[in-house]
Amino acid sequence: MTPPQPADQSRRASVPSHAAKEHARLCEQLNRHSHLYHVDARPEISDAEYDDLYRELQALEREHPALVRPDSPTQRVGEEPQDKFETVGHVVPMLSLDSTQEAEEVARFDERVRKALGAGIDPVYVLEPKLDGASIELVYEDGVLARAVTRGNGRSGEDVTANIRTIPTVPLRLRSEERSAPSVLSLRGEVMMYISDFQDFNAGLVEAGSEPYASPRNSAAGAVRQLDPGVTASRKLHVVAYDVLFVDGATFATDSEGVRAIREWGFMVPERVETVRSSEAIMAYHRAFADVRDDLDYEIDGIVIKLDDLAARAAMGSTSHHPRWALAYKFPPRQEVTRIDKIDVQVGRTGVLTPVALLLPVVVGGVTVSRATLHNREELRRKDLREGDTVRIQRAGDVIPQVVEVVEPGDDRPPPFEMPTECPACGSAVYEDGPRTICPNRFGCPAQLKGRIIHFGARHALDIEGLGEETANLLVDRGLVTALAGLFELTAEQLMALEGFAEKSATALVDAIQAKKQPDLDRFLTALGIPEVGVTVARELAAHFGSFARIRVATREELETMSGFGPRMSEVITAFFADERNGAAIDALLAHGITPTESEPRSSDLPDLGTAVFTGTLPVARVVAESAWRGVGGNTSGSVSKKTAFVVAGENAGSKLEKAQKLGVEVLDFDAFVARLREHGGDIEVEA
């Protein structure tokens, strides 16, 4: 929190002490009663009495403006509408969760965690409902709300602090009666709208002649991104916090300790958070929530399973997409019956032709569905789906709804639908790749170009403000952009001829595009839409090679030396750069002055300390010990060979110890391993 400037200190010093004390009392009372009403659902005073206190505070602040603070209850709606949202980075990445609907996958997840922890250590899992809202990061500095950021691409998002301030269940200052506030705190939560409030809100929209929202989640996400905080305040929103992303000034050994702290700091937390020790208990929890799902006044689409031990979590780490220590166990998708009116074909950004069913609109789980994917030609044939058929559809998560099966064939069924031999968007001859049908005109197909422009300017790529779907469609349909490089030839005069553009907005878009001529290398790689190259892979490539020129000519063998880069990924990346049409499109971009940043290729300063193998029951989770050794430059393996540097043998060590002795590999007990670790600057904490 920024300290007051001398002038502010002077102004506050001029406030009479009795006024300052009265202000503090009113703030404390209003915050307490707001928490009792919105979070605990047990109000102690009437709405009229609360309003009286609020008016007293307003009058006091009008008389003494120096008393107004960012965390005052009067400041929940106190900011002017914004022109746009600033993009800011998260304190730590906000990853998505791996998910499944299969009990067998949950059992395999449990097995993987047990294997990582090692023999003799049973995992403790935290279970909670998987809330279906809009993810948000809340950052507090010295106990005061400093910023609120949408999830965005997981690394950065939009600063929506002014809007989040308007939500009553978000403390502007952390409660400190039970637990003191840390110096810095980053929490992850979900912005929710209760189903009953959503239905009332949609009814009002329909009555006013406006388009209703599709779901409570969409409504909540839309409300958070309103440029006018007053609009956000008019929606009945709640924030449920459930994860400590980062904390400075407090320590937790387990996730469940963190959840308790979140509650004590004044937040709503998920209902019925439990800790269990077996996959059977996980199944029972899942069944219990599935049974009451339709009776809840908020949307959930499953449960979340998280390892409770935070040190073990850190050691298990994450993939580029999700943490290895958590799993979302989703409910079966909701289903409804409707009719296929027509089968159409859409062309995606990567050139894949997808058959899509245009449906008689039907509500599925609170969302109106009028389109459903038919996946590919083989799936279409297998299910024998035709126009006029009555079908069962399902909606799972955010994906486009799917057609499950034919319930009743239509009258006078037409012949089976056949995929076109030419791309419906550009007329190029398509080719088949397994079950997929693909247009090869990667950078010349208008449908693919629209998708590529959207991807090129997306927040996780070049982040070009104003270059969204509607604009991309206009640019291609009007012939203003026929290749990606054409974006950098646009003029304000050309844009002003398009619907929705005035001089100011046209100039702003041109300036926004031109400002991206020296992008970060990883963002440029992401923007190109290279198969298999998302944000994380792009970041790894940029750090490893340092320049676009080096990446462009990298061989499969060079790529495969990188951690996580297997033969398939390496082949796909090199094939992309070897394609002549791709090369021509990239050369055109570079010819327009695009110059990605360069840096020295990454090199590790850590020595190669050899490979360690851990066996038997250790005083810490095995994954923690392995992580500690890798942290000082060593490697780890699950099997013993002649190349193994040493084996760490705990109690009840078995075949790995025997093999090490047979091969003459050095064997250490745990204390000797910790001593060696410390020799190389590492350490490991062992609970007494």
Selecting among 130, 236, 306, 656, the annotated active-site residue is 130
Q: Is residue 602 part of a domain?
A: no
Nearest residue to 308 (alpha-carbon basis) of 121, 106, 104: 121
Q: Is residue 168 part of a domain?
A: yes
CATH of the domain at 393: 2.40.50.140
Could you give the CA distance from residue 674 to residue 648 in angstroms, rounded to a whole number?
10
CATH of the domain at 454: 1.10.150.20
Q: For residue 294, is it within any domain?
A: yes
User: Does 296 share its domain with 344?
Assistant: no
Domain contains 188: yes
How many structural domains does the chain have? 6
Which structural domain, as residue segments, surrounds residue 343? 334-415
| Domain final residue, candidates 366, 394, 415 | 415
**CATH number of residue 642's parent domain:** 3.40.50.10190
Residue 169 has which token pair? Answer: 């269940």
User: Based on the domain organization, do 160 and 236 belong to the same domain?
Assistant: yes
Statement to judge: residues 314 and 340 lie in one domain: no
Q: What interhelical angle do 17-38 and 47-63 show, nearest 10?
A: 150
Is residue 686 in a domain?
A: no
- 50 and 103 housed in the same domain: no
Torsion of CA 295, 300, 304, 308, to 10 degrees: -70
Cα separation, 509 vs 675, in Å, equals 60
CA nearest to 240, candidates 263, 214, 217, 215: 263
Can you list the pairs that 661-668 forms with residues at least 24 positions away whose Cβ atoms lie under 8 Å?
665/640
Residue with tokens 């990446």: 551
Is the pLDDT assigned to residue 414 strictly greater than 90? Answer: yes
- The pLDDT value recorded for residue 411 is 86
Residue 431 within a domain? no
Please give the pLDDT value at position 322. 86
Helix, strand or coil for residue 277? coil
Judged against a pLDDT cut of 90, whether residue 77 lies above it is answered with no
Same domain, 450 and 494: yes
Residue 47 has pLDDT above 80, yes or no: no
Let me know if 451 is exposed, middle or buried by CB neighbors in 10 A (0-12, 13-18, 19+): buried
In a domain, 88, yes or no: no
Is residue 516 part of the annotated active site? The answer reads: no
Q: Residue 28: CB partners within 8 Å, gap ≥ 6?
A: none
107 & 246 share domain: yes
Domain termination residue (choose one: 309, 330, 351): 330
Rg, C-alpha atoms of the chain? 29
Same domain, 232 and 180: yes
Kindly state whether residues 273 and 128 are assigned to the same domain: yes
Q: What is the pLDDT of residue 661?
A: 92
DSSP E strand stretches across 99-200: 99-100, 125-131, 134-141, 144-150, 156-158, 184-192
Tokens of 458: 């997306």
Alpha-carbon gap, residue 436 to 444, rounded angstroms: 20
The rounded mean pLDDT for the chain is: 87
- Per-residue pLDDT band for 17 (boundaries 50, 70, 90) equals confident
CA atoms within 13 A on the CB side of 227: 6
The CATH number given to whatever domain includes residue 253 is: 3.30.470.30
**Statement: residue 230 has pLDDT above 70:** yes
Q: Is 86 domain-assigned?
A: no
At 196, phi and psi to the nearest 5?
-65, -40
Find the CATH number of the domain harbouring 58.
1.10.287.610
The angle that helices 622-631 and 670-679 make with each other, rounded to 10 degrees, is 20
Same domain as 538, residue 498: no
Q: Does residue 398 share a domain with residue 272? A: no
Residue at which a domain ends, from 42, 60, 75: 75
Confidence of residue 56 (pLDDT cuts 50, 70, 90): confident
- pLDDT > 50? residue 3: no
Position with higher pLDDT, 83 vs 539: 539
Residues 352 and 246 placed together within one structural domain of the fold: no
Together in a domain, 190 and 326? yes
Distance in angstroms (rounded) separating the CA atoms of residues 131 and 147:
22
Structure confidence by residue, pLDDT tens digits, 152-208: 878 888 999 999 999 999 999 999 888 999 999 999 999 999 989 988 988 888 888
Model confidence over 437-485: pLDDT tens digits? 999 887 789 999 999 999 999 888 999 988 988 999 999 999 999 999 9
